[in-house]
Structure 1
Amino acid sequence: MPSRVPVTDTADYINKAAPVAQPYLQQLQQLVEANLPSATAKIKWNLPFFELGKQYVSIAAYKAHVSLSLSADFTPELLATAKAAGYATGQKRLNIDFDQEVPVDLVKAVLNLIG
């Protein structure tokens, strides 16, 4: 979603995302909700956020990938694992290109950083 279209909730965001991004976003939402059941879903900056105390996870769609971002830094081990598996990362994010599968075990490990 290159431009930030106003949205009301996570489902609205996913529905307004590019069709190629929607299954990725749905799977990430399900993983967040299953692994962080106490998290509260909110919209900030027209993006879905899931807050757990002062920690958060957000999901977003871009032109060529989706992104999972955290308030916590990834461990060096998680960064190395993601990069070895071919996923682009930053200190607090994991990018999943549209020609890649959602790395379920890696996403769960990332979510454990705040859960």
Structure 2
Amino acid sequence: MQESVKLKTIDEYIGTCSKEIQPKLRKLRQIILDASPELTEKVSWNMPTFYFKGNVIHFAAHKKHIGLYCGAETVKIFSNILHSYKTSNGTIQISNDRELDIDLIQNIVRFNIEGNRNK
């Protein structure tokens, strides 16, 4: 993706990514949206962002992985499930050759929605 271009939609973002990863990004987007009808989409920090009373989750394509940016507390809460993923403060890396875990992603999204709802 070109970092200097200001993107306005998630479709634009996905269109800037390699053709090989685009289907996976579209699937990830749908998995996130299917987690809750309350989510809205936007582009924030030039990344696809899903919002409900605050940011819920972002994602970004990288050369060898997709980064899910869900917050440090969320990564800590889900750490027992994330042991096979590379994680850092608030980030989960999903290798490009790994299948998307629908249940895990949707549970993370729902957890963050509830956190935003209770703020």
**Do Structure 1 and Structure 2 share a fold, with TM-score over 0.5?**
yes
Shift of 1:25: 1.2
Contact (CA 8 Å) 1:65, 1:97: kept in 2 or not?
Answer: yes
Q: TM-score, normalised by structure 2?
A: 0.81
Instruction: Note if 1:58 corresponds to 2:41.
Output: no
Structure 1: gaps spanning 5 or more residues = none
| Structure 1 letter corresponding to 2:10 | T
1:36-92: per-residue Cα shift (whole Å, max 9, x none)?
321221112221111110242111101111111124622545222122xx2212242
Relative distance call for 1:60 and 1:90 in structure 2 (3 A) is same
Cα 1:2–1:108 change in 2 (3 A) is: same
Alignment of 1:18-29 (within 5 A): 18-29=18-29
Give the equivalent residue in structure 1 for 2:34.
Answer: 34
**Counterpart residue number, 2:112:** 114
Asked if the contact 2:64/2:96 (under 8 Å) is kept, the reply is yes
Q: Is the 8 A contact 1:72 1:113 kept in 2?
A: no
Cα distance in structure 2, aligned partners of 1:65 and 1:33:
21
Q: Percent identity?
A: 26
Mapped to 2, the partners of 1:82 and 1:74 lie a distance apart of 11
Supply the RMSD in Å over aligned alpha carbons.
Answer: 2.0
**Aligned counterparts of 2:46 and 2:89: Cα–Cα separation in 1:** 22
Unaligned runs of 5+ in 2: 114-119
Deviates more, 1:46-55 or 1:70-79: 70-79
**1:97 offset after TM fit, Å?**
0.7
Q: For 1:52 and 1:72, how far apart are their aligned partners in 2?
A: 18
Runs of 4+, deviation exceeding 3 Å: 1-5
Q: May I ask how many residue pairs the two structures share in their alignment? A: 113
**Match of 1:48, as an amino acid?**
P
Q: Report the TM-score, using the length of structure 1 for normalisation.
A: 0.83
